[in-house]
């Protein structure tokens, strides 16, 4: 078996050459460890070279080019989860959240035991407004006994979610946080159905939301839009007024 010369960065979850870990921590996370950073390019294989090149391009904020380079790494590469993570982070920098989530999900699937991968995915989810999924990822990161920095980030994410829920539920005394998160997931599914022009499936999700949350303006609004697109003007007007 080929001996791996990469190690996982405990902060971001990216695989880094063992002799380059000190430099990675210093440049990317402003941290230091004992020992120097000695490069050994003669032994680098194409996967390692592509990862290093991708990280350098990201450091110089050439994110599109970094994505192109990192996507050349084959799925069978032992450190493919690191490539997925770097691609996902690059997409976040380009404000392409859907693409970012796609690759951060791949990173989690490739190495589900890495706490940083779960935190990165949770942070992307919350940026997209997927509160329930973000909370699930933060809890999984904490369950994997992360280092202090990832632990702090995951806890901060959970605290932020709690504050968000408290704010959202301030005028909804009959709805508890768990119910709200379930409704949020149904609403997000409805939005996805709308994007795919599956109007009937979308209506089912939004109607479920309004059956529990009588004051969900956004669900009533989307129902109104769907009825308008279906040519049912009176129904559209009724829901938009709600």
Contact 148/156 with Cβ under 8 angstroms? Answer: no
Residues 102 and 108: their CA atoms lie apart, in Å, by 10
pLDDT band at 103 (very low <50, low <70, confident <90, very high): very high
pLDDT at 68: 96
How far is CA 184 from each of CA 100, 136, 168, 218, rounded to the nearest angstrom? Answer: 21, 14, 11, 11
The mean per-residue pLDDT over the stretch 2-22 comes to: 55
What is the helix (H) or strand (E) element at residue 76, kind and residue range? Answer: none
What does the pLDDT look like over 134-152, one tens digit per residue? 999 999 999 999 999 999 9
Show the beta-strand stretches assigned E in the chain.
6-8, 15-17
Does the predicted TM-score (pTM) go above 0.75? Answer: no
What is the helix (H) or strand (E) element at residue 194, kind and residue range? Answer: helix 177-195
What does the pLDDT look like over 82-100, one tens digit per residue? 999 999 999 999 999 999 9
The mean per-residue pLDDT over the stretch 190-209 comes to: 95
pLDDT band at 217 (very low <50, low <70, confident <90, very high): very high
Residues 192 and 202: their CA atoms lie apart, in Å, by 8
């Amino acid at each position: 078996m080929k001996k791996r010369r990469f190690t996982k960065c405990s902060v971001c979850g990216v695989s880094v050459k063992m002799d380059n870990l000190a430099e990675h921590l210093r440049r990317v996370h402003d941290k230091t460890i004992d020992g120097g950073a000695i490069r050994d390019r003669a032994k680098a294989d194409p996967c390692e070279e592509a990862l290093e090149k991708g990280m350098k391009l990201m450091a110089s904020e050439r994110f599109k080019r970094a994505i192109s380079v990192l996507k050349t790494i084959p799925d069978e590469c032992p450190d493919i989860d690191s490539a997925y993570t770097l691609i996902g982070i690059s997409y976040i920098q380009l404000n392409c959240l859907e693409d970012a989530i796609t690759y951060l999900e791949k990173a989690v699937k490739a190495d589900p035991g890495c706490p940083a991968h779960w935190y990165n995915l949770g942070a992307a989810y919350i940026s997209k407004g997927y509160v329930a999924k973000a909370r699930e990822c933060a809890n999984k990161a904490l369950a994997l006994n992360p280092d202090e920095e990832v632990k702090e980030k995951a806890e901060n994410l959970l605290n932020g979610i709690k504050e968000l829920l408290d704010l959202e539920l301030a005028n909804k005394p009959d709805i508890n946080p768990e119910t709200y998160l379930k409704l949020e997931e149904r609403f997000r599914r409805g939005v996805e159905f709308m994007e795919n022009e599956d109007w009937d499936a979308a209506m089912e999700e939004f109607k479920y939301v309004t059956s529990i949350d009588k004051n969900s303006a956004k669900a009533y609004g989307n129902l109104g839009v769907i009825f308008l697109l279906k040519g049912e003007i009176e129904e559209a007007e009724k829901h938009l007024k709600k």
